[in-house]
Amino acid sequence: MINYNNAYERIIKRFDEDSDGKLSPSELCHFLETIGEEKLFIEEERVLMESMDSDSNGLLGLEEFVGWMEREIKLGDEERKIEELREAFWMYAIEGSECITPKSLKWMLSRLGESTSLENGCVMIGEFDVNGDGVVSFDDFKLMML
């Protein structure tokens, strides 16, 4: 993983209005608004700060800020992966259905140039059908792909 500490130090220095080396809730919110986040209500500021402030001093030091930013980056990557999986899933699911059936799998594979029988589609579905209902739900598909 890339070490972004120098960039994080610069962010803190840029938004640290009172030059104490830490971000207060209002300084953090100023940073968030600068990067395009919506303005937070006072209660939201408090809850966000509490979730990030590991030493409970009401301020974010570099280590706390780095930890939060790295969690946010990881979360963003995971959300992108899930969205990509969701798009792939919907290619195979029949319109109006929330699952991949043997019929929809057969249809999509034929569109991709790989014809298969309905029986083979049932076997393929059975390999990844976690709850045994004869179809692949998004949760089943996610387990299969991750």
Mean pLDDT by 10 residues, the chain (146 residues): 73 94 92 86 84 92 90 81 86 82 88 87 90 90 83
The two structure tokens encoding residue 57: 């001093």
Q: Buried (b) or exposed (e) across 120-136, using 16+ Cβ within 10 A?
A: ebbebbeeebeeeeebb
Supply the pLDDT for residue 2.
54
Give the phi and the psi of residue 54 in degrees, each rounded to 5. Answer: -70, -25
HSE toward the beta carbon, residue 130, CA cutoff 13 A: 9
Supply the pLDDT for residue 41.
82
Supply the pLDDT for residue 53.
92
pTM: 0.53
